[in-house]
Chains A and B, each alone.
Chain A
């Protein structure tokens, strides 16, 4: 027995209150659904597979002080010491650390002609020795790693003959899938041949579209300032190495300063800190909004029950059962929520269009609508449950009382 018509006419007689509830439900729905969509998008982004062994990597910077610092010799000695440290899987001196937010990139094209016509792609530009594959923990799916002989040590710009690139970059440069063995062009005489293809490897800038388009070169730059990337075997090793690596390096040679000793997890968290904050703020706002709306519904319905005490008592006296009364209020709420949600869907889509247009958000997946609608209906029913029960418990004798 759905009493939709009498409910509708009752609602239409208290227009302003009905309108207020409708608006409240509609805006709450629009904000919550959009927030959840943004949160989901950010969580997906943060959760993307990076292809590297994130959990077991750490990095640090070395800045040499000594005027007569022998770069090549020191780098060799450092790496040898690190690679032989128990718990260390591998280590490299590298120009940029993945996910760190700073590094080098370059333009690359599949032919000189394309390069000259600017038909090229951006790509992360990684330089390290042949241990880089093992240190990053990336997987070569085609071709081979660099050989030790291919590695160049230089203070100047090196002229690499070979490169290893990520599959995502290979697919852009050579859509036919025949990248291996081809030359790529980076301007001037830098025209290395692709000797290997990596399945997946994240670069340095997590918000940049070229995050997964990267090139590796067998070059070690001999700079006063250089970065070291270390891969350890277990998480216990990670904490131990993080704690002792500075002392070890300084003990070997104290003519330098070691800074920015960070685990990959820390670098990643720092790169995503804005997104992380955004998700937390949006969660908080959404939950508060839901609480406010729920309490609002409880307040208004309780008031309505109080106002209609006599009417409800009369209904009871005329034979309505407790469950009928409760059903009346719940039906009324479902009806209100449904109308509110219909308006809400429109506001929600409008809001999303603005976000997409102006703030490069992604359009909301249609799945969020049924989820949001389900959530709001459940919320509405839960909020109305208690006042509706109070209404159901009104005694029929009220009807016969005069005051």
Chain B
């Protein structure tokens, strides 16, 4: 499903060279729910950006759903991202001027669906997150948890194979965080592969598999920490 081999990413400024990722290898199978943890600056974000094809990498190979990402141009990468990947961010990143309907509409527009199909998908997606009654509301009129659910609906509307979640509960209080987490698990159970970056170990433990990044590499000892318990919802 997703296969990274020896990915290398170097950031250069005039003064320093930072190896954000070095010989990073990872394989994720279809239907998995993987949590990626690691201290600040370990390369989590770089990993996410490369996975989402928002950034290019300097070495190694990355196969997404059987397609070699390296060598794709911006247009092809954007297309692939639009079709296969849904993004969920810590700060929701809803577009403040657009109402819920139009926010969820954004990725569908770039996919080029007909207006009928878009409408259908938007309504379905918002229903799935329990917000179908608020199509015309602006993001600012919603609570943080509701905003994140809209963001999830937006990520789901295009029916991607992958969800990339970056600290999805970081800006939420614990009750809302739990609700969002539950929603993600549901989605995962329905077949969508999820990769979630977090530094909340409790959340991480609810994933099928934990990957710990240290200094731009997958730390070995993550395998030594099997998932011992599933936290109660």
The answer for the CA separation of A403 and B93 in the assembled complex, in Å, is 11
The answer for the CA separation of A402 and B91 in the assembled complex, in Å, is 10
The answer for the CA separation of A207 and B50 in the assembled complex, in Å, is 74
The answer for the CA separation of A45 and B135 in the assembled complex, in Å, is 71
A378-403 CB contact bits vs B (8 Å, 1 = yes)? 00000000000000000000000011
Smallest beta-carbon distance A263→chain B, Å: 65
The answer for the CA separation of A403 and B90 in the assembled complex, in Å, is 11
The answer for the CA separation of A403 and B171 in the assembled complex, in Å, is 9
Smallest beta-carbon distance B145→chain A, Å: 15
Smallest beta-carbon distance A309→chain B, Å: 16
A 19-48 contacts with B by CB, 8 A = none
B 78-115 contacts with A by CB, 8 A = 91
Interface size class of B (residues with CB under 8 A): under 10
The answer for the CA separation of A402 and B172 in the assembled complex, in Å, is 12
Q: Which residues of B contact A402 (CB under 8 A)?
A: 171
Q: Which residues of A contact B91 (CB under 8 A)?
A: 403
B 41-86 contacts with A by CB, 8 A = none
Q: Which residues of B contact A403 (CB under 8 A)?
A: 91, 171
- Chain A residue at smallest Cβ distance from B144: A403
Smallest beta-carbon distance A333→chain B, Å: 29
- Chain B residue at smallest Cβ distance from A403: B91
- Chain B residue at smallest Cβ distance from A402: B171
Smallest beta-carbon distance B208→chain A, Å: 31
Smallest beta-carbon distance B169→chain A, Å: 14
- Chain A residue at smallest Cβ distance from B92: A403
A146-185 CB contact bits vs B (8 Å, 1 = yes)? 0000000000000000000000000000000000000000
The answer for the CA separation of A403 and B91 in the assembled complex, in Å, is 8
Smallest beta-carbon distance B35→chain A, Å: 23
- Chain A residue at smallest Cβ distance from B170: A402
Smallest beta-carbon distance A241→chain B, Å: 72
Smallest beta-carbon distance A80→chain B, Å: 87
Q: Which residues of A contact B171 (CB under 8 A)?
A: 402-403
The answer for the CA separation of A402 and B90 in the assembled complex, in Å, is 12
The answer for the CA separation of A194 and B91 in the assembled complex, in Å, is 97
Smallest beta-carbon distance B82→chain A, Å: 27
The answer for the CA separation of A403 and B139 in the assembled complex, in Å, is 14
B 169-184 contacts with A by CB, 8 A = 171
The answer for the CA separation of A403 and B147 in the assembled complex, in Å, is 14
Smallest beta-carbon distance B85→chain A, Å: 25
- Chain A residue at smallest Cβ distance from B91: A403
Smallest beta-carbon distance A63→chain B, Å: 76
Smallest beta-carbon distance A166→chain B, Å: 73
The answer for the CA separation of A283 and B167 in the assembled complex, in Å, is 60
The answer for the CA separation of A403 and B96 in the assembled complex, in Å, is 14
Smallest beta-carbon distance B118→chain A, Å: 30
Smallest beta-carbon distance A75→chain B, Å: 85
B156-172 CB contact bits vs A (8 Å, 1 = yes)? 00000000000000010
Smallest beta-carbon distance A400→chain B, Å: 15
Smallest beta-carbon distance B88→chain A, Å: 17
Smallest beta-carbon distance A15→chain B, Å: 15
Smallest beta-carbon distance A401→chain B, Å: 12
The answer for the CA separation of A402 and B144 in the assembled complex, in Å, is 13
The answer for the CA separation of A359 and B91 in the assembled complex, in Å, is 62
The answer for the CA separation of A150 and B77 in the assembled complex, in Å, is 102
Smallest beta-carbon distance B168→chain A, Å: 16
The answer for the CA separation of A402 and B171 in the assembled complex, in Å, is 9
A123-155 CB contact bits vs B (8 Å, 1 = yes)? 000000000000000000000000000000000
Smallest beta-carbon distance B224→chain A, Å: 35
Smallest beta-carbon distance B23→chain A, Å: 34
The answer for the CA separation of A270 and B91 in the assembled complex, in Å, is 71
The answer for the CA separation of A8 and B225 in the assembled complex, in Å, is 51
A 269-291 contacts with B by CB, 8 A = none
A 349-403 contacts with B by CB, 8 A = 402-403
The answer for the CA separation of A402 and B170 in the assembled complex, in Å, is 12
A 72-108 contacts with B by CB, 8 A = none
Smallest beta-carbon distance B144→chain A, Å: 9
| B interface residues with partner A (beta carbon < 8 Å) | 91, 171
Query: What are 3 A-B contacts defined by CB distance under 8 Å?
Result: A402-B171, A403-B91, A403-B171
The 3 closest A-B pairs by CB, nearest first: A403-B91, A403-B171, A402-B171
| A interface residues with partner B (beta carbon < 8 Å) | 402-403
